[in-house]
């Protein structure tokens, strides 16, 4: 492939949507006002944009998604202005969801890439998973209307409850609430706990659960 073909094939595309995919791993955000994104996820931008770190939950935007649990969580940045923003996170695949009014989804804090600032949100920690995740398991519940982008290691699978999942492979869920189950029979021969010792049990019919072919254990 010559240089002209290469640049033409990989040039950015114009999109009418606020959130769109530049490729499988890169989110294209048309910023006109403000958007919230995972700090460190910016790979490029055009236009007049400013980036501000959000350090505490008191100002209306929570800074560290895991700050209360571990002090090391996922920092969020507010991006303001007018321009085009490109985001990516460790070559994870980007998934875009559009939430209707009053529609909500809960996402593992590690897997939130960006969301529109107009979405309402709540951050919770499942302390019962402290055995697998330092400080617990921190999640962000987002309610529409608006766009949200999440990331997955590989292609996700969407399951209908009732279903039991590994917490480290669980990316998101909607219209269902998990209960944490502990299987004391799952341990190896040298005393270390199996990753499957902690399980998330979803029983509410009508919702869905998103899992990935990868286990994220802190």
pLDDT at position 23, please? 95
pLDDT at position 93, please? 98
Residue whose token pair is 């659960």? 209
Residue whose token pair is 């979405």? 119
Q: What is the largest CA-CA distance in the chain?
A: 60
pLDDT at position 136, please? 52
pLDDT in tens, the chain (218 residues): 888 888 877 877 777 789 999 999 999 999 999 999 988 899 999 999 999 875 444 333 344 444 433 444 457 888 999 999 999 999 999 999 999 999 999 999 889 999 999 999 887 777 666 555 544 577 889 999 999 999 999 999 999 999 999 998 999 999 999 988 876 665 544 444 445 568 999 999 899 999 999 998 65
Residue whose token pair is 């769109």? 20
Residues in contact with 32: Cβ distance below 8 Å, sequence separation at least 6, in sequence order: 82
pLDDT at position 39, please? 85
Do residues 201 and 175 make contact, with C-beta atoms less than 8 angstroms apart?
A: no
Distance (Å, whole) CA 107 – CA 151: 10
CA atoms within 13 A on the CB side of 111: 33
* pTM, rounded to two decimals: 0.83
Residue 39 β-bridge partners:
none
pLDDT at position 217, please? 67
């Amino acid at each position: 492939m010559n240089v002209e073909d290469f640049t033409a094939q990989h040039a950015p595309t114009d999109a009418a949507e606020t959130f769109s995919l530049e490729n499988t791993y890169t989110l294209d955000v048309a910023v006109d006002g403000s958007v919230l994104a995972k700090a460190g996820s910016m790979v490029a931008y055009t236009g007049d944009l400013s980036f501000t770190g959000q350090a505490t939950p008191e100002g209306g935007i929570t800074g560290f998604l895991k700050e209360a649990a571990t002090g090391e969580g996922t920092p969020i940045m507010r991006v303001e202005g007018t321009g085009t923003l490109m985001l990516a996170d460790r070559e994870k695949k980007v998934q875009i969801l559009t939430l209707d009014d009053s529609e909500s989804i809960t996402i593992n804090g590690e897997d939130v890439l960006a969301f529109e600032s107009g979405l309402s949100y709540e951050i919770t920690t499942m302390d019962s998973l402290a055995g697998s995740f330092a400080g617990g398991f921190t999640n962000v519940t987002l309610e529409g209307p608006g766009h949200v982008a999440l990331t997955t290691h590989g292609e996700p699978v969407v399951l209908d409850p009732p279903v039991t999942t590994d917490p480290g492979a669980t990316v998101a869920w909607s219209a269902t609430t998990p209960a944490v189950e502990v299987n004391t029979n799952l341990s190896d021969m040298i005393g270390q706990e199996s990753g499957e010792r902690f399980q998330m049990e979803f029983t509410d019919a009508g919702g869905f659960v998103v899992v990935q072919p990868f286990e994220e254990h802190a």
